[in-house]
Amino acid sequence: MSVLVTGGTGYIGSHTIVELLNAGEKVIIIDNFSNSKPEVLDKIKEITKKNVVFYKINYLDEKEMQKVFEENPDIEVVINFAGFKAVGESVQKPLEYYHNNVTGALILLQMMKKYHVKKFVFSSSATVYGEPEKIPLTEDCKVGGTTNPYGTSKLMIEQILQDLYHSDSSWDICILRYFNPVGSHESGLLGEEPQGIPNNLMPYIVRVASGTLKELSVFGNDYPTPDGTGVRDYIHVVDLAKGHLKAIEKLRKEEKGLYIYNLGTGTGYSVLDMVKAFERATNRKVPYKIVERRPGDIATCYADPTKAYEELGWRAEKTLEDMCQDAWRYIEKQTEK
């Protein structure tokens, strides 16, 4: 049996592929390198010494997708990482975002239905909670009030999955709501490579530390948090990747269902905590200045990850120091070249 992974050469996808291969799974990857590079496949091989089946196709291409399912009758489960993910860009290009994320998911699900593959793991995001109803966030907190098309596309797909399961309970679906993934594989071979100036905090910090960017702008220090800066639940991408293996294990069990899990550590760190932790872990300086709040940001967001621990037996194990050191190692390796 094999696991089909869309978006398998992206940031979270590639780390998950490594964990799947290390666990002895047979993997098929679909990607069109819209936000990743073919070299990622070589790195995966270098780390795991294992081969994957790879298709360079766009998951919106129904004919090509059909070919993948025809050629691989042993697909048992699909993990969907494919999709656009830049929040700011999604505001500028809503049609492109809805088309790529929502239509892509629909095509994938239709294909799965046609070929009787009914186990599905979906990459969702804590962004679906909008303004948090309470902290820490539990999976039964209200969702909605997303402030950008990226977030709304995740919410729409969650709704589609609910409706699908409601219509046919032979589906077996796991929705994983990621908090803030950071860091990279300890080999320094895989990592996060945002195009252009990064929007997210950790990629920005590493580029300031390496001298590529001058200083970090801290978006607001007047939030109702201990030091006034935004608090988030940063989770090591390898811990997150391992959560997908646990999700697959769950779907392989007898009973069918639609399950939702928060994948976070349960601990919130502020922007300044992150700057200090990074400086300590890497011995580099991260100059910063305080600027205006960023529109759409919330003060505090972190998970209650109890449900994932109780039902999947998963919890994050890596420390903030690991997250900082591993994020930095990847950048150092990149600059060595």
| Residues with catalytic function | 150
Distances (CA, A) of 169 to 157, 161, 291: 17, 11, 50
Of 100, 152, 153, 180, the residue at the interface with ligand WQD (CB under 6 A) is 180
Of 7, 136, 188, 230, the residue at the interface with ligand WQD (CB under 6 A) is 230
Minimal distance, residue 327 CB to ligand WQD, in Å: 12
Of 75 and 87, the one with the shorter C-beta distance to ligand WQD is: 87
Minimal distance, residue 171 CB to ligand WQD, in Å: 25
Which region holds residue 154: left if phi is over 0, alpha if psi is between -120 and 50, else beta? alpha
204 binds ligand WQD (CB under 6 A): yes
H helices of the chain, in order, are 11-22, 39-48, 62-71, 87-92, 94-97, 104-114, 149-167, 201-209, 237-252, 271-282, 306-312, 320-336
CA distance 293 to 118: 43
Q: Is 78 helix (H, G, I), strand (E, B) or coil?
A: strand
Of 32 and 101, the one with the shorter C-beta distance to ligand WQD is: 101
CA proximity to 85, closest of 233, 199, 240: 199
Of 232, 244, 246, 250, the residue at the interface with ligand WQD (CB under 6 A) is 232
Of 85 and 242, the one with the shorter C-beta distance to ligand WQD is: 85
28 binds ligand WQD (CB under 6 A): no
Binders in 250-309 for ligand WQD, by CB under 6 A: 271, 294, 297
Distances (CA, A) of 251 to 22, 234, 248, 255: 19, 26, 5, 8
* 93 burial type by CB count under 10 A (0-12 exposed, 13-18 middle, 19+ buried): middle
Phi, psi values for residue 295, rounded to 5°: -55, 140
What is the maximum alpha-carbon separation in the chain? 56
Minimal distance, residue 212 CB to ligand WQD, in Å: 13
Of 10, 13, 151, 305, the residue at the interface with ligand WQD (CB under 6 A) is 151
Q: Which stretch binds ligand WQD (CB under 6 A): 42-50, 133-141, 165-173, 217-225?
A: 217-225
CB 210 within 8 Å of CB 155: no
Of 149 and 151, the one with the shorter C-beta distance to ligand WQD is: 151
Of 88 and 313, the one with the shorter C-beta distance to ligand WQD is: 88
Minimal distance, residue 155 CB to ligand WQD, in Å: 11
152 binds ligand WQD (CB under 6 A): no
CA distance 236 to 329: 14
For ligand WQD (CB under 6 A), the number of binding residues is: 19
H helices of 192-305, in order, are 201-209, 237-252, 271-282
Minimal distance, residue 150 CB to ligand WQD, in Å: 6
Interface contacts to ligand WQD, rule CB under 6 A? 85, 87, 125, 127, 151, 180, 199-201, 204, 216-219, 230, 232, 271, 294, 297
